[in-house]
Structure 1
Amino acid sequence: MKLSTIKLNGKEESAFYFDSGYIPLSIINQHFHVQWPLSFESILKEGLYESVLEWYQQHENELKVMEKVGFDQAISAPLFRSPGKIIGIGMNYENNLGKHQDYIEPVSFMKPSTSIVGQGAYIIIPSFSKETTAEAELAIIIKEDCKNVSVAEAPNKIAGYTTSLDMTEAAIHRENPRYLTRAKGFDTFLSIGPTFLSASEINNLEQLEVKTVKNGEEIAKNNVTNMRYSPYFIVSFLSQSLTLKAGDILLTGTPGSVEINDGDEVSCQINNFPVLINKVRVESVSL
């Protein structure tokens, strides 16, 4: 199952994603006489994800032949607006020199929901920024509330995955590592989507290749298999210290960051996912 959030006729709602276009959930409800919530976020938080997935799998062939809303007829919106938590994992890929040896547990941080934007929106660099970077990352979407999950149990707590771009004001972070929350928390400093893929859509998670791309140039890439901490370990590790809630977003780290400036275009490219693309501009300040 693939889901996107779109703006259609002035309203945002989630829609099933197909290569030929979207089927909004409002049309699904009308056509099939069901009453699914119109946002993916609500489906997760109301505990309906498994029911929707099962329904989709039963009706997939019918959905494929239904009339679609064209990609040019709808505006892509952020996959989520207000997840309960957004937790990032840093320094998670092996580099050419081998694994980092200076820490034994994942580096983690949190981002506010006010940092979220979606496909096509501008990443706004603060006017005072000396260096803002962007990082392409695979994002985990939590399916249900969970605590003290084992690595073996973790796959059952994951609804699926999406693409993301995590921004950092690197100069602030360099000034003092304790400034990480501020450095990563600016408005527009997290792009999510445009499309969610259920775990069942991904045949080999470890072979997903994550790429950071700027202005069409590939800056960095790596495979999930080269993560120090796998997605399943990340879910388990974080659940040992806090309750993960349905709809929480976990960022799994980047193969590499790139400095971004006014006029740039940056993207997260992961095989099997539609590309996430955002343009960049510097904040304008009124005098």
Structure 2
Amino acid sequence: MKLIRFGAPGEERPGVEVDGVRYDVSLLVDDYDAKFFSNGGFANLRRALDDGDVTKLAQVDADVRLGPPVARPGKLICVGLNYLDHAKEFGNRPAPEEPVLFMKATSAVCGANDLLVRPPDAEKLDYEVELALLIGSVTKEVSEADAMHSVAGYMMANDVSERAFQKEHCGQWMKGKSYDGFAPLGPYLVTRDEIDDPHRLGLWTDVNGEHRQSGNTRDMIFSVPFLISYISKFMTLEPGDVILTGTPSGVAMGMDEPDYLTPGDVLECGIDGLGSSRREVVGAVRLEM
């Protein structure tokens, strides 16, 4: 099943996409949020759709904005340097012995195709296409063997980063990771049963038509079940939490002559089976205090 949320920012309604047609399911579901995922929402929605005729639901026009396919997550947990080629492009670093973890502010979540606003003081705006997974049940100290039971579905994400904020200001990476719009999700949430193997997905990024990133999730250093098991040792994962699993090489900061995003650029990303996105980069309007 492909789940979508559609409508203006802050006013999104739940929907599904079936055979390329989008339907409004707001009469069946309040929203795709923690309550939905923790109370058997997937199974209930699937049962309701199977018992009825999906074509009787109101269709959603193809030009209607798609928001993030999950309402604001409780946590956005990110894995850094999870592809060896990405680690090597940053000073030829060795593979980390354990996953590198950091957080993004949930206020950064947006729709997959929303405008990408460059912060007023930004100097080094970058991109990182990533496989994101959604947690569907309370998960604490889970074994690697049982970890996949916690996955509700998969999405495309982009860990948009401002490298000067991230690297040149003291403190945590999250400074460069959390500006509004730095966590696009979607366009779809694809349920776990539709992805045979999350470790066999191609992922890519283009900037202004130039191919920048081309990788495959089989090259992740730490697998999806390992990451879930590992993270759950340090914090309780809850329904609606999202984990971003890392990016392959090809980011702007890794270039010999970094070519960062500037207003007017067009950023496109995609992951096999999870859809694609297109974002235009625009300049921010500085607010006078």
TM-score, normalised on structure 2?
0.86
Give yes or no for the alignment of 1:52 onto 2:44.
yes
* CA positional deviation for 1:139: 0.4
Contact kept, 8 Å, 2:34 with 2:239, in 1: the verdict is no
Contact kept, 8 Å, 1:211 with 1:268, in 2: the verdict is yes
Structure 2 counterpart of 1:214, which letter?
Answer: V
SS in 2 for 1:219: strand
Contact kept, 8 Å, 1:49 with 1:143, in 2: the verdict is no
Give yes or no for the alignment of 1:94 onto 2:84.
yes
Give yes or no for the alignment of 1:157 onto 2:150.
yes
SS in 2 for 1:84: coil
Q: How does 1:239-254 map to 2 (within 5 A)?
A: 239-254=232-247
Tell me what 1:77 maps to.
67
Q: How does 1:201-240 map to 2 (within 5 A)?
A: 201-240=194-233
Q: Which runs of 5+ in 2 are unaligned?
A: 253-259
Contact kept, 8 Å, 1:79 with 1:194, in 2: the verdict is yes
Tell me what 1:282 maps to.
283
Tell me what 1:16 maps to.
16
SS in 1 for 2:131: strand
Tell me what 2:257 maps to.
none
Per the alignment, do residues 174 and 67 of structure 1 end up closer, same or farther by CA in structure 2, a change over 3 Å counting? closer
* CA positional deviation for 1:103: 2.8
* CA positional deviation for 1:64: 6.4
Structure 2 counterpart of 1:68, which letter?
Answer: Q
Tell me what 1:25 maps to.
25
Tell me what 2:33 maps to.
41
Per the alignment, do residues 185 and 66 of structure 1 end up closer, same or farther by CA in structure 2, a change over 3 Å counting? closer
SS in 1 for 2:205: strand
Contact kept, 8 Å, 1:37 with 1:43, in 2: the verdict is no
Provide the rounded CA distance (Å) in 2 between the counterparts of 1:175 and 1:262.
Answer: 22
* CA positional deviation for 1:204: 2.5
Per the alignment, do residues 37 and 46 of structure 1 end up closer, same or farther by CA in structure 2, a change over 3 Å counting? farther
Quick check: 168-177 or 134-143, which moved more? 168-177
Relative to total residues, which structure has the larger strand share, 1 or 2? 1
Tell me what 2:261 maps to.
260
Tell me what 1:182 maps to.
175
* CA positional deviation for 1:101: 2.9
1:93-119, Cα deviation, whole Å (9 max, x unpaired): 122969953631111110111111113
Per the alignment, do residues 282 and 140 of structure 1 end up closer, same or farther by CA in structure 2, a change over 3 Å counting? same
Provide the rounded CA distance (Å) in 1 between the counterparts of 2:33 and 2:65.
Answer: 18
TM-score, normalised on structure 1?
0.87
1:116-135, Cα deviation, whole Å (9 max, x unpaired): 11132111111111111111
Contact kept, 8 Å, 2:134 with 2:243, in 1: the verdict is yes
Structure 2 counterpart of 1:13, which letter?
Answer: R
SS in 2 for 1:205: coil
* CA positional deviation for 1:53: 5.6
Provide the rounded CA distance (Å) in 2 between the counterparts of 1:203 and 1:150.
Answer: 21
Contact kept, 8 Å, 2:84 with 2:95, in 1: the verdict is no
Contact kept, 8 Å, 1:111 with 1:185, in 2: the verdict is yes
Give yes or no for the alignment of 1:63 onto 2:64.
no
Relative to total residues, which structure has the larger helix share, 1 or 2? 1
Provide the rounded CA distance (Å) in 2 between the counterparts of 1:260 and 1:19.
Answer: 35
Structure 1 counterpart of 2:54, which letter?
Answer: L
Structure 1 counterpart of 2:276, which letter?
Answer: V
Provide the rounded CA distance (Å) in 2 between the counterparts of 1:221 and 1:124.
Answer: 24
Contact kept, 8 Å, 2:117 with 2:284, in 1: the verdict is yes
User: How many residues are matched?
Assistant: 276
**Percent same amino acid at aligned positions?**
27
Per the alignment, do residues 206 and 56 of structure 1 end up closer, same or farther by CA in structure 2, a change over 3 Å counting? farther
Provide the rounded CA distance (Å) in 1 between the counterparts of 2:170 and 2:77.
Answer: 17
Tell me what 1:197 maps to.
190
Contact kept, 8 Å, 1:265 with 1:280, in 2: the verdict is yes
Contact kept, 8 Å, 2:24 with 2:57, in 1: the verdict is no
Contact kept, 8 Å, 1:154 with 1:232, in 2: the verdict is yes
